[in-house]
Amino acid sequence: MKYIILFILYISFFNASSQNTYDIRDPAENFGTKCSECLYVLNNIPTEVNRGIDVDEHQNIFFFMSDADWFYHLIKKGGDGLAIDLVLKNQYSCASDKVEYKNYISKGHLLPPIYLKDIKKNSVLTEEGGIIIKIGTIPDEYINLDYELNLVILKNKYCCQYTVLFNIRRYKWDLLDMGLFADSIMYKTKINDSGTGSQRIVIVSKKKMKFSVPFEKSKTSYSTEDIKPLYDSLMLNDYEIKKISIRAYSSVEGSTNYNLELQNKRAISIVKALQSYQNQEIEYEITTAENWMEFYYDINQTKYSELGSLSKKEIKKRLTDEVYLAELEPYLSKHRKAIIEIEFEKKEHKDMTDSELVSAFNKSVNNNDNVKMQELLDLAFSRIINGKSPNNFLGSFEIPNQLEFGSLMNNKDVYKYFLDLEDVQTTYQSMLQLNEMLPNNRKIAYNIISLKFLLWINGDVEMDPLLFKKEIKKLRSVGISSELVNRILVNYDIVMAEQYMIIRDYRNKDKMLKDIYYKYKNSSPNSSDLLKIAQFFVAYGKYDWAIKLLKPYVTQVDSDEDLLFYYINLTIIDLDITKKSEYKRILLNAIDINKERFCNLFNSTSKGGISFQILDNEVLKMNYCESCN
């Protein structure tokens, strides 16, 4: 994961005070003429050119820019230079007023400027064509304090730009999961292990279902009988529940602690009731919150809209009036609910040992019973990925090399690949052989393209990109859905954009970006895809595209947490967006879903936050001080 500092322009001039401004001059009413050249260059620097500041273990301050040529377009004369303004977090306490500038150039502690002559002495060029410059040192009295560094750009010693730096996560491109076809499409993905902080590989092939369950106001628990209609509606048949994730919401009136405790009891009672229908232990995850997001949304444009301008504490006080509370009950009743996501997996024959499973498979081979063979092969794979059988167990299942077993051979090769028993090249060659046996099999055709793509990006095979694109599109003619074909085409555009970027062909790079944007603008992608595409756009400076892409998916109470927080990362510094009433609801939802993560956004950039200086925004400061202080 890579962190890059995003620059946000902020220019403001004030009357000078007693603080030392060195030889830096205030352009004042002559700003347009004194700074025109500087602003022209800044406005024309490509969005792909990154800039930022870092501090090493010796407290040396470094400025970096990914394109040295553009830097020297900006800083090219003796009086051109850079300076640092050091700002402290304690200036932004909830008890203090808005931070004011001490003079036309500083709202903190201004460090000595560095000009072109010394910049050249203190700079090094990177192999990629960038530049790194030592521009100062943190004063001893600030080393142990929580601070941030703002950048001042000087033109002929005039202060032409004061820049607050925000820490926005930027990612290099990452491919969408293309997966491989067995009986259905399967994916191999990485997930974070919350216990160790490491990542582990999981095979995504389980069924999932998501739905909402309303809570009755006076009901505190759910029995087996209460849950039976829900359980019957799942129509599990050959499946059982593997995991349940519940977001339990209360309405906003009453004690917060009581509300959260009540929702937790309700959620646990649902899990226990579902557990009573099966022996396999159900994993579960429960989060609880008061449903502030939907409360603010529902009262908007009603006679109760005045509540929208009040704090949570003030609203709760108003709702102690029983008459007023009764009037609002039709709205509040809709806010008490659980958003439940259930993950299923196929039931196992627990009475069958591994050796008995192999014997049953061999018997099915002799009987040419493909259906039974597939069922037993799936069971073996399930046991392996759940750690109940060793990885080499799959080798015990011998499939005759015959036409009628071609589909089974495909599935076994896919399973071996996902279990790391075979690499990409070996699996690709196996698929080519299967394709000769079953030339019109859509699953094998898809697997060949998916594996060939991986070989291409790993540099293991050379091919003409345009011809390969035609091969990808041909998958539609063998019955592969447009959705899956588009996923591969998006990956193709991602790879080509990177290649064009390397040779600085910005025109063709932008063409690839547009292709991706319009493919996803009119589709219904999953949360993982959305996040990857948004991160990809941000890596290429297309923040507005990422914001537009994510916006429709972050306005619901059951929004994906990572999508929601990434959207906030991209928008929280935009005053035009944050002043809107709907943004307040988005922030409240983020607080309800993960308050600690929300509060950490306001940490200093060196501690992983976006910046504590976003507390200059009164809307953000109110939410922060109410929820985090």
| Start-to-end C-alpha separation, the chain | 29
Length of the chain: 629
The three-class DSSP label of residue 70 is: helix
Q: What is the pLDDT of residue 307?
A: 92
Distances in whole angstroms, Cα of residue 220 to Cα of each of 223, 231, 332: 10, 19, 17
What is the mean pLDDT for each group of 10 consecutive residues in the chain (629 residues)? 40 47 91 94 88 93 95 95 95 82 81 96 94 96 94 95 83 77 76 42 60 81 73 69 90 92 91 85 91 91 89 92 94 92 73 87 91 89 85 90 91 90 91 92 95 92 92 94 90 91 87 88 76 87 90 90 94 91 90 93 93 92 88
Residue 203: per-residue pLDDT: 52
Tokens standing for 289?
Answer: 């919150």
Q: How far is CA 546 from CA 420, 517, 542, 555, in A?
A: 34, 9, 7, 15
Q: Answer for the pair 163, 5: CB distance below 8 angstroms, yes or no.
A: no
What residues pair up with 51 in beta bridges, in sequence order? 65
pLDDT of residue 199: 41
Beta strand extents in 332-458 (DSSP E only): 337-346
Is residue 153 within a helix (H) or strand (E), and if so which, with residue range?
strand 147-155
Whole-number pLDDT of residue 232: 72
- Res 349: pLDDT: 61
Q: Specify the pairing of strand 123-125 against strand 51-55.
A: unpaired
What is the rounded (10 degree) CA torsion for 532, 533, 535, 541? Answer: 160
Confidence (pLDDT) at 7: 43
Name the residue with tokens 């991209």: 570
Contact 587, 613 (CB under 8 A): no
The structure tokens listed for 305 are: 């809209």
**What is the per-residue pLDDT for 315?**
93
Q: Which residue is listed with tokens 């519940």?
A: 246
pLDDT at 279: 82
Distance CA 208, CA 243 (A): 9
Domain residue spans in the chain? 3-169, 206-346, 554-629
In angstroms, rounded to a whole number, what is the distance separating the alpha carbons of residues 209 and 343? 7
> Please, where are the H alpha helices in 99-246?
116-121, 224-234
Residue 538's pLDDT is what? 87
Angstrom distance (rounded) from CA 458 to CA 460: 6
For residues 370-395, one letter each, b for 16 or more C-beta atoms within 10 angstroms of the residue's C-beta and e for the rest, the string is: eeebbbbbbbbbbbbbeeebeeebbe
3-state secondary structure 276-338: CCCCCCCEEEEEEEECHHHHHHHHCCCCCHHHHHCCHHHHHHHCCCHHHHHHHHHHHHHHCEE
CA 59 distance to own-chain centroid: 32
What is the reported pLDDT for 624?
A: 93
CATH class of the 206-346 domain in this structure: alpha beta
> For residue 11, what are the contacts with CB-CB under 8 A and spacing of at least 6?
31, 160, 161, 162
pLDDT at 428: 95
Longest Cα pair distance anywhere in the chain, in angstroms?
95
Give me the pLDDT at residue 300, please. 87
